[in-house]
Amino acid sequence: METKQTTIQITGMTCAACANRIEKGLNRLEGVQANVNLALERASVTYDPQTADDSKLEQKIIDLGYGVVKQPAEAGTADGEAPDAYKRRELKRQQLRLAVSVLLSLPLLWAMAGHFAWTDFVPVPELFMNAWFQLALAAPVQFVIGWPFYRGAYKALRSGGANMDVLVALGTSAAFFYSLYLTLRTLGVSGHEAHEVQLYYETSAVLITLIVLGKLLEALAKGRSSEAIKSLMGLQARTALLIKDGVERAVPIEEVQAGDVLVVKPGDKIPVDGTVLEGESSVDESMLTGESMPVVKRAGDTLIGATVNRNGALRMRADKIGKDTALAQIIRVVEEAQGSKAPIQRVADRISGIFVPIVTGIAFVTFLLWYFFVEPGSFGSSLEKAIAVLVIACPCALGLATPTSIMAGSGRAAELGVLFKGGEHLESTHRIDTVVLDKTGTVTKGKPELTDVIVTGHYPEADVITWAAAAERSSEHPVAEALVAEAAARGLRISEARQFEAIPGYGIGAAVDGHELWIGTHRLMERQGVNIEDARLQQEKLEAEGKTVMLIAVDGEYAGMAAVADTVKETSAAAIARLKQMGLEVIMITGDNERTAKAIAGKVGIARVMAEVLPEQKAKAVQELQAEGRKVAMVGDGINDAPALAAADIGMAVGGGTDIAIEAADITLMRGDLNSIADAVEMSRATMSNIRQNLFWALAYNVIGIPVAAAGFLAPWLAGAAMALSSVSVVLNALRLQRMRKG
């Protein structure tokens, strides 16, 4: 079944209960699987286009009582607006609401000082104690500033649920309308006696002010948690120098089309992904790959958009534009990870689904206990205790505990060159105890050089190299590249090969200049019936030196061997030592022979080696490790690694690897440096620790706060302040992940 994916920006969510209800509502639609993220205020939806579409999904959200921000591309209507623009406008609106609410609430807060003996030294203007003056100040706060709470509560109750708005609307309305009742009773009462009436206007007004303040601080903090996306977007070039009809002109990046010829001058950003046509320069790719050294680019080399051209002028062809560029794909992966839901969040979802009705019940019981048993007949005091319970229990912190940590953790990981494809992978990575490394291109540089050519004398050395290079030219294996490069360096003319056949894990076969060639391992020679007895000692000697040996047969007869050396990456040994210090077992897996594999493993400190493993056996090897009870991370970069990457608990693809490997993996390591593996594990561990801290304090806050409020030790305004601070503290704790340093 073909499915589609869409992202919907949602307005009006106030707590975890809102996100939970929208998610359930969308998932009830046929063929729809939705995930709603409170921190991003966004729904990520996969749906069957035969049973649903974008308009049906949006209408469902609206029916549940929430709003939808239409994307500019789809909106020829007045409500079409980019999410960032909407958020900026909403932030300004919140700031204005807060300013007005503070101005109206301050006199009420000042008047509150007149109700306590321990604050009788504070001079309170006579006007501030007037019940009608207090009503005039409190009413706009209650019904204008507080209107979104009423609207949200009505929509939530209408759709059969309850959220934070219900608690706030109940608590503040109880205080306001009880005070209004007392105010109406002062009609006909003398001025002094009227001032003696205990009113609660300041309770409702200050509560609303504090909640609006908390929401504003929360929005500002959440804005900081998406800085990683903003910084990645900031890398994009804004313009490009386009050559058309021989004329060079600057155009907006959006106007560049695939196939266009562009000029990139020294110091300019590469506008899009493409290929060098003319020129030579060094390009700084550190912002995407983490590699500090500039990379030399010549005709035929690929260029990555958003990287910086250092010195020479380049003429390039645009190959990938818009959403197809490497940077756009990275941004999409990070956005998807930030918008996804980690399994641990199910704890918060289950609690938030039943939280509000339970709290409402506790508040009602609190009122009854105080009114009938603790302070019999004291309606005002009993009401205060019930309001405190309602307000302190708002489940905002619980709903923000997980998504804010996922946002901050995945964003910081992206800055370190580690792309988690989803929150579930960010959570699962901390559990791994075994790291399996592919050798070629992962532990080593993957660009071997020819070191030895030994021939039997049946054919001249130049002919053997020429034929082997011709046969290998159709192969994508790094060892083949070394042979082709050697032939080119010697100035040999490479013929066209026919009947090329690649045998994974064995080698290749081809017809060149009328000769049948087989090049590969001893297993290939045995399979083709070629006698290689005379080559064994020489082969073992070269392999003991850590070289990879390719045996060459011409017309069914052994003709010689070529040895290549693939140098170990400079950082591999230190990175593997770091992984061991973290308590992880490191295993190397390769299709190479055992002697060569062990020689390479010895250089980098790996004790356990799985050698001569065929591509189809790599996944089985990973599964055998899992059968031992291990949690396995597989790290590779080639097509033959894709099954093992998919089979592992966590698959990590080296960013320079093939698209299929990156597609099969759960994590993409943008840098070739193996330290990225340790960075990924450390970021996962730090994020999970952060989530547990947030969940603990969010739950502990309610477990402690509700009984304290019910016992009468918290005034409603203090409960409101505590509730607002709890949400902000959760977000600020998550933001600590953004300061995590690269190991």
Residues with active-site annotation: 438
Q: Quick one: which of 114, 221, 650, 98 has its CA closest to 418? A: 650
- Which of helix, strand or coil describes residue 28? coil
- DSSP E strands in 56-99: the ranges are 67-69
> Residue 45 in contact with residue 25, Cβ under 8 Å?
no
Q: Quick one: which of 9, 43, 677 has its CA closest to 341? A: 43
Q: Quick one: which of 686, 617, 675, 625 has its CA closest to 650? A: 625
> Residue 59 in contact with residue 36, Cβ under 8 Å?
no
In whole angstroms, give the CA distance from residue 273 to residue 264.
Answer: 12
In whole angstroms, give the CA distance from residue 282 to residue 296.
Answer: 4
Q: Report which residue type is found at 325.
A: T
In whole angstroms, give the CA distance from residue 648 to residue 636.
Answer: 11
Q: Report which residue type is found at 368.
A: L
> Residue 421 in contact with residue 406, Cβ under 8 Å?
no
Q: Quick one: which of 119, 176, 118, 121 has its CA closest to 144? A: 176
In whole angstroms, give the CA distance from residue 668 to residue 651.
Answer: 8
Phi, psi of 175 (to 5 degrees): -65, -45
Q: Report which residue type is found at 518.
A: W
Q: Which two tokens stand for residue 735?
A: 């933001």
| Pairs from 724-727 (Cβ < 8 Å, separation ≥ 24) | 724/210, 724/211, 724/213, 724/214, 724/215, 724/217, 725/214, 726/396, 726/397, 726/697, 726/698, 726/701, 727/214, 727/217, 727/218, 727/396, 727/397, 727/400
Q: How many Cα atoms occupy the beta-carbon half-sphere of 501 within 13 Å?
A: 10
In whole angstroms, give the CA distance from residue 156 to residue 150.
Answer: 10
Q: Quick one: which of 218, 360, 281, 404 has its CA closest to 710? A: 360
- DSSP E strands in 527-630: the ranges are 548-554, 557-565, 585-589, 608-610
**Sequence-ordered list of residues with C-beta below 8 angstroms from that of 145, at least 6 positions apart, any chain:** 97, 100, 101, 104, 208, 209, 212
Q: Quick one: which of 432, 408, 413, 333 has its CA closest to 679? A: 413
Phi, psi of 292 (to 5 degrees): -75, -30
Q: Report which residue type is found at 417.
A: G
**Cα-to-chain-centroid distance, residue 728:** 21
- Torsion angle of the four alpha carbons 84, 89, 90, 96, in this order, in degrees rounded to the nearest 10: 150
> Residue 362 in contact with residue 710, Cβ under 8 Å?
yes
Phi, psi of 515 (to 5 degrees): -110, 145
CB atoms within 10 A of CB 571: 16
Q: Report which residue type is found at 360.
A: T
- Torsion angle of the four alpha carbons 352, 357, 359, 364, in this order, in degrees rounded to the nearest 10: 180
